[in-house]
Structure 1
Amino acid sequence: MKVAFGTDEVTPLTAAIVERLRAGGHEVDVVADGAPWVETGRRVGDAVASGAAERGVVCCYTGTGVSIAANKVPGVRAALCTDAATAAGARRWNDANVLALGLRLTSEEVAGELLDAFFGTEPDADELDAVAAIEPPR
């Protein structure tokens, strides 16, 4: 799967996230590597919304800013997740297409669990209809 990745701060954790995605067989396009958080969220959001990437991962200190910025792009459903169950639920029930992570409190081990859950869970078909019904046309 093609994944757009962006972070406002390059850290050992962000390098580990990219490596884990690649090791999982994903093609990773790093679209923001140290850009301001607003730009990071927008770049990843644009890549996902345009179809250049199927999903995205965004990171900033808390994860909140990049998730808000990505969600400003029509067609993006970014979810800030702190545990695997939430990441799986974001995919299953909300068809989230961008995973937002906070660099402050996320360990490499937890990031791996989040990535596995997010990329290993498919949306529930009934929930897809509910989400599509409230999305504005593009």
Structure 2
Amino acid sequence: MRIGLGSDHLGYGLKEELRVYLTERGYEVVDFGCTGTDPVDYPDIAFRVADGILEGQYPRAVLVCGTGNGMTIAANKVCGIRAALCHDPVSAERAGKSNDAHILTMGALIIEPERAKQVLDVWLASEFQGGPSARKIGKIAERDERRQERRQQPE
């Protein structure tokens, strides 16, 4: 499976650890940077990674910044994307099984690398179950579709 990966400068170290971890487990990683600790703006990375999902480059992605909040907010601004901030296995499992999250976000200042790997493993193993959650995800998708339609209408 291909998986997108990106971070800002605060998340760079954890992103690199996760890149190696995923590669060792046989994932093909599409790395959108950043490439060091020089400051970068997290929305730039989040938008590129989210767009890659919508373009079909990979089905899932991981974004890392200082707290995870910025990446989550930015990725969720992309119509059609569901990003979930998770720092524990239970949240990660529900993000996959109930929320059908395309993107897992984490905060490098919040979570230790070994715990981040555990959270990542749980999220990757969690497939969307549908059921009652499908109705809720459908409502989110309908809202995204209406937003897209409004944007495409001439003024």
TM-score category of the 2 structures, normalised to the smaller one: over 0.9
Mapped contact 2:3–2:60 kept (Cα < 8 A): yes
TM-score by length of 2: 0.83
The percentage of counterpart residues that share the same residue type is 32
Please give the secondary structure, in 1, of the residue aligned with 2:117.
Answer: helix
- What does residue 30 of structure 2 align with? 29
Poorly superposed stretches of 4+, deviation over 3 Å: none
Shift, 1:90, TM fit: 0.6
TM-score by length of 1: 0.92
Task: Work out the number of aligned pairs and report it.
Answer: 138
Mapped contact 2:6–2:49 kept (Cα < 8 A): yes
- What does residue 13 of structure 1 align with? 14
Mapped contact 1:49–1:74 kept (Cα < 8 A): no
Shift, 1:129, TM fit: 4.1
Residue pairs, 1:8-87, within 5 angstroms: 8-9=8-9, 11-34=12-35, 35-87=40-92
The separation in 1 between residues aligned to 2:52 and 2:87, in whole angstroms, is 23
Cα-Cα RMSD: 1.5
Any gaps of 5 or more consecutive residues in structure 1? Answer: none
Shift, 1:75, TM fit: 1.3
* Per-residue deviation, residues 58-85 of structure 1 (Å, max 9, x unmatched): 0111110011111111111000011011
The separation in 2 between residues aligned to 1:130 and 1:65, in whole angstroms, is 24
- What does residue 4 of structure 1 align with? 4
